[in-house]
Structure 1
Amino acid sequence: MVVDSIPRAYKKAILVIMDVVIFAAAIWLAFAIRTTSTIPQFNGTYFKLLLIIVAVRIPVFVKLGLYRSFLRFPSERVWLIAAQGMAISTLFIGVALYLADLQGEPRSVLLIEPFVSFFLVLSSRQFLGKQIFKMSSAVAKRERVIIYGAGLAGIQMAHSMRVMEGLKVVSFIDDDPSKWNMLVADIKVYPPSAIARLAEKHNVRRAIIAAPSSSSVDRRKMVFNLRKAGLEYGEMPNFLDIVNGNIKIEDLFHVNAKDLLRRETVEPNRALLKGVVSDSAVMITGAGGSIGSELARQIAALEPSSLVLFDSSEFALYSIDMEVRQMYPQLKVVPVLGSVLNEKLVRTSLEKHKITTVYHAAAYKHVPLVEGNPIEGVRNNVMGTKSVAEACAVTNVKKFVLVSTDKAVRPTNVMGASKRVAELACQAVDKQAQQMQVVDGVLPVPTKFCAVRFGNVLDSAGSVVPLFRKQIAEGGPLTVTHEDVTRYFMTIPEAAQLVIQASAMSDGGEVFLLDMGDPVKVYDLAQRMIDLATRENEREIEIKITGLRPGEKLYEELLVDVSSSQETAHKKIYKSLEGGPSLEIVHEQLQLLSTALNEQTLDAVLDVLQVLVEGYEENSRVTN
């Protein structure tokens, strides 16, 4: 900006000259008011009086620091300094006039002039500040944001953010009805119900929570209101860091996962979402994970009769339980702490809460970790799935959905192979369920089993996006295993919506997948994150190639047989009725797998994977 290039000494000189002109005008106005004449008679005292005022008042202003104030951002401090300067200088001017024995000077002029000068000095600062702000070349590029919290912290935040040339506050949001429609720091305050409308009107994508004294309950409400409106949110930073230039836009907000997709996000079919969940008793396994917790949030919004959250992690279960209860206090939420390998606990939970739909998201998914711990990875992913599926089949659960992965297609790692065997186990249980016999004259309604297979989920725990974000914050480098590695990507909400919609369309035995467009190079994703994070500065962050990890593929596939894909009620969701080993072979191999897992025999475990999974070959580096 041009103003920023002017030396500070020149800026001070300009302000001093401007104040001299103001004092001259104030004397003239004071005489005019005193004599009620537009052409007052000064009797030769005008220039003498001006000389005394300038000689006394300018040094006082300099001493008090009026000319050190931020011209672009005038504040209450300027008012205070100007008031003190006027009071002190007027006292000294009165003494000077007495000692100079200036004749013909009406005493009332000495009382009127300071008030006129004070008003003109403040008005000039306000006017110049606004003009300079409008002249800023960055104004056109300023991103519009909302501040949630119109208290003292929010007001200070609004003032402080004016030094951040990349951001502009368009409105306040506050939960206190007494503040609604008020103007705070010249910015209007709105209720939370207006967030979505304001975001659309002002093209707002982000909000800042400025309520440091709020309770955890109130803060969760704020987060819920912002997420409901589709806004990304950040925390209020330290004001000194802002003023000193230590805070940049990328420090306030994470890179939005949606910005990383090279395609439009897939919109859900609302009828499909509500059709299978509303007024139903739903259970989610792995409810504390990235996908499980998003499933919990979205399902809770669809008004189920009850929601059972099942997870083995105490902290993860506690976190999502508290979040859902706070968001939907009227919903019956039941947290169940335990492992999906505990068949009795799973079955008891299904029977006790009369569950009709199960979303099975509990799994070990981190490729290198499962590659290094194959027995426990297979036990959890295969036998845990089999445990839940069989319990559903005998407790009249209507729908069972397995959350699977594209790594299950011709896998090169234990994690992918285990998820493919989990799919086969579900299909085997599904075939058995269709052959159920009449019991006491009643034919039980068979459970419909399906799997949902999707690619890498952006921003999920253990994925590349949180890793890259951390590496960017540390200044780099970003680590990519191979320059040509490609992956299919989707957002967490897309993944959760796909799972819910698939359950509505399932007739049993299918594998559903989302059309995610073309695969993305992980190297390009890393470069995209660097570009987004450094758009407001000239930081340079490098990308380092580290080499493929054990079991990692250069590219992933979504379907075993592309020709078997069929369209569904959603134009972006497809299903595949995939073949595989016979039911007898699957049962036989699962029994061998159970024995091998109990005996901790790795070779036998890997042998089963090779028999059941097309394209899987044991990696020589797999050890337990």
Structure 2
Amino acid sequence: MKIYSKRILLLLIDIVLINLAIYIALIFRFDGLIPEHYVRVLANSFIYITLIELVAFYFFGLYKSLWSYASIDELIQVFFAAATGSIGAFVYGTIAGVRLPRTVYAMSWILIFLFIGGIRISGRLVKRVQIFGRNNELSTKKVMIIGAGKAGSMVIKELKDHQELNLIPSVVLDDDFKKHNSSIHGVAVRGGRDKIVPLAKEYGIDEIIVAVPSAQKSEMSDILRICKETKCKLKKLPGVYEIINENVSIKSIRDVNIEDLLGRDEVNLDIKAISSYIKNEVVLVTGGGGSIGSELCRQIARFHPKQLIILDIYENNAYDLQQELRRSFKDKLNMEVIIASVRDKVRLEQIFDEYRPGVVFHAAAHKHVPLMENNPAEAVKNNIKGTLNAAQCADKYKSKKFVLISTDKAVNPTNIMGATKRIAEMIIQAMDKQSHTEFAAVRFGNVLGSNGSVIPLFKKQIETGGPVTVTHPEITRYFMTIPEASRLVIQAGAMAKGGEIFILDMGESVKILDLAKDLIKLSGFEPDTEIKIEFTGLRPGEKLYEELLLAEEGVASTRHKNIFIGKPLEIDFKELIGKIKELEECIDDVLKIRDCLGRIVLNYEYRNDEAAVTK
């Protein structure tokens, strides 16, 4: 009822203002001395003129808009509504013989526009005054906007419209010097990114919103690295598609995360090549509920497989992914979720026999280095035996492609997890020599935000006030995002001809200490003063740095700039299976397991803490 009451009140105000405008126009036309004839004409026709104007207002939507958010678009509506109404009144007066002077219609048009537009914009002006009055209150936060384009303009408008957020846009920065010394919605554009730090101090900025959705991720990373030196809370607008769809709102703005600082540009996919081997194919993803496995499933679903089989031993993750994909794809995705272990050969045989997958992505694995050092038998069972089981089933049931998800820790391994994953790679290369299935592996480094990785650990430590623990001040790792890694895995699958180990371009390695400092700053704290960083020492089996390539593998480029191929090595399948059987026989003895692993992976050497430091 409240909204209808407001519209009725607005209607009554419009009736008064329309007639007031016409009367004032007559006064202007006759210098205050209105002839009696025109007074009678107005008295006989004002009801009809008013109705004509109101009908025009209705058709132009003047009673549907939310005038508390009125902008130039709404004023344009009023302008054309007033023009249409005045023209209609003129036509009516001419036909009915009750026409006022032409200049009266022209002046009344302008006056109606000013009166009606003014009353509608007044609500927004009141809000502006309220915002201005709150600028000095302690509860308000001053905001710097990076980007003076369309996105930045929309962000400023949204902030001014949502006064309940207590965010006051105070200054705008943009690298385009042509925009300097101008203003957007009353907010000054003061310079480029080189002014971020000094202007943040000058204005006492609390938050910075980066509104440059068209920027490449490398450029975005550069901007964010400057911003984080200000100690302000950082937020950003998502991708350019939001701007294309004109869907910018307060909800679009999100906190800056560590992935943004990594600055890795979006992966371009060969859609045609990927579609050719996934579309209308039954695709099985083992470990489908994990970090990489689940993202593989999300990406694969976009390419219209005949059926997507998600296999995982952990039911909770698999269930969550199932619900997510159902919401996203509804009945467009034929999906089956299977709870099973790759260790169980009999169960795998049943699954392959029933579903006959044409493409297999093998992501099931134990991946945590310290846990596997303490539980080597489990790593052998899952990473070696599980891979062998899945690979043999793919061969027996004539899958077309089998892609193993591997790790940089398989290169010159110094830990159980890395050694078992290297043997998994060897199984794939050996199987390819005697199978019609195209076997390949994809090797890459750490993925940001994956389950149990360093980023979630750091975040939890920061939330509890620290300290943040880093094993060594010089330790480095390769990083990429989960979506990036998954897309490149799928792309590598399209290139696989059999026996390759694809190596993803991980960019430059990142110091874990720098990563910890960046994350602390993004959380609004100062490293070592507000949140302490402690060094705990390298853990057993841990290297200072990881490698992506064995010395004997060499490397060749592919048609995709982010994917390289390590030269396939000659591995005798029967000899390998014999050594794996020996390994299984000593699975209950930790020392013997390490010896057996060393006989299979000749460059595996268990490192204690001191040796790891020198590696």
State the TM-score, normalized to the length of structure 1: 0.60
> Aligned to 2:145, which of 141, 147, 168?
141
* 3-state SS of 2:398 partner: coil
- Distance (whole Å) between structure 1 residues aligned to residue 513 and residue 298 of structure 2: 32
Alignment of 1:181-192 (within 5 A): none
Q: 2:487 aligns with which of 465, 475, 497?
A: 497
Asked whether the 8 Å contact 1:287–1:296 carries over to 2, the reply is yes
Query: What residue is the counterpart of 1:364 in the other structure?
Result: 366
Give the stretch that moved more between structures: 483-492 or 262-271: 262-271
1:347–1:392: 8 Å Cα contact kept in structure 2?
no
Structure 1 match to 2:164:
160
Quick one: structure 1 residues 253 and 432, their matched pair in 2 at CA, closer, same or farther if it must change by over 3 Å? same
Equivalent residue for 1:566, pick from 532, 535, 556: 556
- SS of 1:419's equivalent in the other structure is helix
Q: Which residue of 1 aligns with 2:353?
A: 351
Q: Secondary structure at the match of 1:328?
A: helix
Aligned partner of 1:612 in structure 2 is: 600
Question: What residue is the counterpart of 1:380 in the other structure?
Answer: 382
Distance 1:509 1:159 in 2: 61
Alpha-carbon distance in 1 for matches of 2:585, 2:239: 47
Cα deviation, 1:563-588, whole Å, max 9, x if unaligned, reads 62111121110011242653343122
* Distance in 2 of aligned mates of 1:319 and 1:410: 36
The whole-number CA distance in structure 1 between the counterparts of 2:531 and 2:307 is 48
Corresponding residue of 1:548? 538
1:417, 1:202 → 2: CA distance?
43
1:257-272 paired onto structure 2 within 5 Å = 257-272=258-273
* Inter-partner Cα distance in structure 1 for 2:320 and 2:284: 17
Q: Secondary structure at the match of 1:483?
A: coil
Residues 1:516 and 2:516 are matched in the alignment: no
> Match of 1:544, SS?
strand
Secondary structure at the residue paired with 1:484?
A: coil
SS at match of 2:311: strand
Report the count of equivalent residues: 423
Distance 2:347 2:446 in 1: 31
**After superposition, what is the alpha-carbon deviation per residue over 1:494-537, rounded to whole angstroms, capped at 9, x for unaligned?**
11011111111111111001112221111111112222222899
Distance 2:464 2:411 in 1: 36
Mean alpha-carbon deviation: is it higher for 331-340 or for 521-530?
521-530
Q: Which 10-residue stretch deviates more, 252-261 or 568-577?
A: 252-261
Amino acid at match of 1:561: A
Helix, strand or coil at the partner of 1:417: helix
Unaligned stretches of 5+ in structure 1?
1-32, 37-74, 77-117, 148-153, 169-198, 206-225, 232-248, 434-445
Distance in 2 separating the partners of 1:501 and 1:607: 37
Deviating more after overlay: 299-308 vs 317-326: 317-326
| Contact 2:213-2:240 at 8 Å conserved across structures | no
Q: Residues 260 and 525 of structure 1 are in contact (CA less than 8 Å); yes or no, is this contact kept in structure 2?
A: no
**Residue in 2 aligned with 1:304?**
305
The alpha-carbon deviation at position 396 of structure 1 amounts to: 0.8
Pairs within 5 Å for 1:155-554: 158-163=162-167, 255-329=256-330, 330-433=332-435, 446-534=436-524, 540-554=530-544
Look up the SS of the partner of 1:391 in the other structure.
helix
Q: Evaluate the alpha carbon distance shift between residue 408 and residue 545 of structure 1 in structure 2; reply closer, same or farther with a 3 A threshold.
A: same
Distance 1:302 1:265 in 2: 18
What is the percentage of aligned positions where both structures have the same residue? Answer: 40
SS in structure 1 of the partner of residue 379 of structure 2: helix
Shift of 1:347: 2.0
CA distance in 2 between counterparts of 1:157 and 1:123 reads 8
Shift of 1:262: 4.7
User: 2:159 touches 2:168 (CA, 8 Å); kept in 1?
Assistant: no
- Report the counterpart of residue 602 of structure 1 in structure 2: 590
Q: Is the 8 A contact 2:467 2:533 kept in 1?
A: yes
Cα distance in 2 between the residues matched to 1:120 and 1:585: 83
Which structure 2 segments of 5+ residues have no match? 1-23, 28-67, 70-118, 173-210, 218-237, 244-250, 610-615
Partner of residue 79, structure 1: none
Q: What residue identity is the alignment partner of 1:602?
A: V
Give the 3-state SS of the residue equivalent to 1:452 in structure 2: strand
Q: Equivalent residue of 2:166, what SS?
A: helix
Partner SS, residue 540 of structure 2: coil
Contact preservation (8 Å) 1:565, 1:575: yes
Q: 1:128 to 1:575 in 2, by over 3 A?
A: same
- Tell me if the contact between 1:142 and 1:165 (Cα under 8 Å) persists in the aligned partners: no
* TM-score, structure 2 as length reference: 0.61
1:390-421 CA distance string (max 9 Å, x none): 00001010000000000000011000000001
**1:304 Cα deviation from its structure 2 partner:** 0.7
The separation in 1 between residues aligned to 2:264 and 2:125, in whole angstroms, is: 50
Secondary structure of the structure 1 residue equivalent to 2:583: helix
> What is the root-mean-square deviation of aligned Cα atoms in Å?
4.2
| Corresponding residue number in structure 2 for 1:23 | none
